Amino acid sequence: MMRYGLGTAGATLAGGVPGARARGGGAPSPVIMPASRRPRELPQPRLLRSADGVLDVRLTAAPAVVDMGAPRLVRTYTWNKVVPGYTWEIRPGDLLRVRLRNRLPYLPPPKVMVMDRPHEWTHTNLHTHGLHVSPSGNADNVFLDIPPGGEHRYEIPVPHDHPGGLSWYHPHRHGGVTQQLRAGMAGMLIVRGEIDRVPEVRAAAEKVMVLQSIQLGDDYQLLDPIPDPAPDQAFFPRAHALYTVNGVLRPRLRMYPGEVQRWRLLNAADSTFLSLHLNQHDFHVLAWDGLTLAEPDTTGVVMLSPGNRVDLLVRAGRAGSYDLVLTPGSSQQPDIPGMPGSAAALPGPRGMAMPGFPPFDEELARRTVLTVHVTGHGRPMGLPDSLPAWNPPVLPISRRRNFAFTVQREPDHAFLSFGVDGVPYDPAAPPYRIPLGTAEEWTLVNAFDPKLMNHAHVFHIHVNPFRITRINGRVLDKPLWRDTFVLPKLAGDSLTFESNFTDFPGKFVEHCHMTSHEDLGMMSAIEVVARSGGPA
Ligand SMILES: [Cu+2]
């Protein structure tokens, strides 16, 4: 077990003065000017597209001053000085080459490194979330560490049979994931494929929408985490949370009546569920997590856990203005449409009050994140009846595993402990080993002392997506393929899912994608082992 009681050893902020307001930027303080507050058209991140089988990317982590349409310019950490990062577009069989340079500020090392507290949050690395690629060597290897001033060259071969769909990239350096996601360091990663050739999908204008929760201090500057907070502080302090779409507050988007657009949404917030509804419109869902459904699923609300992507079609109705709203079910304890144990049925306040945070009632009231202006005229457009489903067979199950995401309060310290099976992440612990070429069925249980606050979690495993067959023991009519899925919030709630481990030996991780839970220890290592012996 890791011990705490470090005093302020790890709590010296980047400004050098314990307890002082952290300076996230590291650059000389500019005069902070009011930013533009006029409504802006939804921008699209710059597109970097592969050519001749290669996408060559220069990715630089750096502080920057960004105009998000907030009352002030925002000083934060970025990829390439923009929020979100550029969109990368590749094809199956491509080679993705990334030269990652870390220009985030140097922090004095903590006297004691604690694996289940925020630490070294200006170190970074790269995770290609959703890509079915190798976790080893210079590929999607989240055990790599790129310290400030360092650089690394990634080479990620993408399989020829990779499904077309929506993935994303973000830092995954344990101890600093939350800090870099809440700063805005994330970008979309599109794999082109069969779904893009469906005539109705192809005809629709494509809009990428990176949804983020940018968390800032009073002066709209990123604050440092506090590894050892006082009772009136939080690990990840903030005064403002900006719910942005492609880095802009409340942008607008034009459509004409009868127009069908393809919206490609990502929840890149560090720890917030986002339940979205477009007033007076339906969503026609094509794919979750880059995995195409057999037919469009028509729904009024899409609930994205942190890390989820959804690809959908929207058909504009009559002329008018329509808000895309975060419903009150967006919170750290989400309403999950159609799911047993949904918060809708439960009495009492939805949010939990934590010292150092604005009350959730206030922060997660119904709010508009984007406005659609339906105007003009054009050719009416159609919706597809069927889609090229991604639904591969699962091999016969060779082993069943039961495990738990655990939240405990230990008698000797003030904070909750987050872990897998009661143990916070320990890089020296042996990984859970799986023989290459097999499939397993896992049941994940939400385990915490019922006297504590409810905690929903979000299961994510790298490299291989999984097929959810049961929620709280109840068999689903249609199993769900995902790479990220909410674990409902009540003690004893469970998810049962199965997964193939048929290629890519190597070591990777499973964790809660509420990244504040992950940085606090809710992660463990997995190793897929080739039958001949050690990993390839
Ligand atoms: Cu969690």
**DSSP 3-state percent helix, strand, coil across the chain (nearest 5):** 5, 40, 55
**Contact (Cβ atoms closer than 8 angstroms) between residue 184 and residue 77:** yes
Distance between Cα 153 and ligand 1 center (Å):
31
Q: Is the pLDDT of residue 233 over 60?
A: yes
- 371 pairs with which residues across the strands? 252, 323
The alpha carbon torsion through 358, 513, 516, 524 (nearest 10 deg) reads 160
Distance between Cα 197 and ligand 1 center (Å):
37
Rounded to whole angstroms, the Cα distance separating 307 from 458 reads 9
pLDDT at position 33: 55
Rounded to whole angstroms, the Cα distance separating 115 from 371 reads 42
Distance between Cα 382 and ligand 1 center (Å):
40
Distance between Cα 415 and ligand 1 center (Å):
15
Rounded to whole angstroms, the Cα distance separating 93 from 387 reads 22
Distance between Cα 329 and ligand 1 center (Å):
17
Distance between Cα 513 and ligand 1 center (Å):
7
Distance between Cα 300 and ligand 1 center (Å):
26
Q: Is the pLDDT of residue 357 over 80?
A: no
pLDDT band at 8 (very low <50, low <70, confident <90, very high): very low
Distance between Cα 120 and ligand 1 center (Å):
21
Rounded to whole angstroms, the Cα distance separating 253 from 262 reads 12
Rounded to whole angstroms, the Cα distance separating 317 from 262 reads 15
Distance between Cα 85 and ligand 1 center (Å):
25
pTM here is 0.89
Nearest CA to 514 out of 209, 229, 235 is that of 235
Distance between Cα 163 and ligand 1 center (Å):
28
Distance between Cα 295 and ligand 1 center (Å):
31
pLDDT at position 22: 36
Q: Is the pLDDT of residue 329 over 90?
A: no
- Determine the residue type at 86: Y
Distance between Cα 455 and ligand 1 center (Å):
7
Local structure of residue 27 (DSSP, 8 states): S
Least reliable range by pLDDT among 70-84, 216-230, 326-340: 326-340
> Environment class of residue 90 by beta-carbon count within 10 Å: exposed (0-12), middle (13-18) or buried (19+)?
buried
Q: Span 208-229, mean pLDDT?
A: 95
| Strand pairing report for 252-255 and 367-374 | parallel
Rounded to whole angstroms, the Cα distance separating 22 from 226 reads 10
Rounded to whole angstroms, the Cα distance separating 283 from 311 reads 10
Rounded to whole angstroms, the Cα distance separating 309 from 313 reads 14
Distance between Cα 146 and ligand 1 center (Å):
26
Q: Span 204-216, mean pLDDT?
A: 97
Distance between Cα 114 and ligand 1 center (Å):
19
Distance between Cα 523 and ligand 1 center (Å):
9
Distance between Cα 333 and ligand 1 center (Å):
11
Distance between Cα 31 and ligand 1 center (Å):
38
**Contact (Cβ atoms closer than 8 angstroms) between residue 220 and residue 240:** yes
Query: Alpha-carbon Rg of the chain, whole angstroms?
Result: 22
Q: From the centroid of its chain, how far is CA 159?
A: 23
Q: Coil, helix or strand for 253?
A: strand
Rounded to whole angstroms, the Cα distance separating 299 from 389 reads 18
Distance between Cα 417 and ligand 1 center (Å):
11
pLDDT at position 364: 54
Nearest CA to 306 out of 332, 338, 336 is that of 332
Q: Match 């650059």 to its residue by tokens.
A: 27
pLDDT at position 344: 35
- Determine the residue type at 515: T
Q: 137 in the Ramachandran plot: left (φ > 0), alpha (ψ -120 to 50) or beta?
A: left
| Strand pairing report for 165-170 and 248-249 | unpaired
pLDDT at position 507: 98
Distance between Cα 57 and ligand 1 center (Å):
32
Rounded to whole angstroms, the Cα distance separating 180 from 143 reads 16
Distance between Cα 405 and ligand 1 center (Å):
7
Q: From the centroid of its chain, how far is CA 256?
A: 32
Q: Is the pLDDT of residue 531 over 80?
A: no
Q: How far is CA 96 from CA 135, 189, 191, 495, in A?
A: 14, 11, 11, 33
pLDDT at position 419: 95
Distance between Cα 465 and ligand 1 center (Å):
19
pLDDT at position 20: 31
Q: Match 């490609």 to its residue by tokens.
A: 264
Mean pLDDT of the chain: 87
Q: What is the pLDDT of residues 78-137, one digit of tens each?
A: 999 999 999 999 999 999 999 999 999 999 887 777 889 999 999 999 999 999 999 999
Least reliable range by pLDDT among 245-254, 286-295, 454-463: 454-463
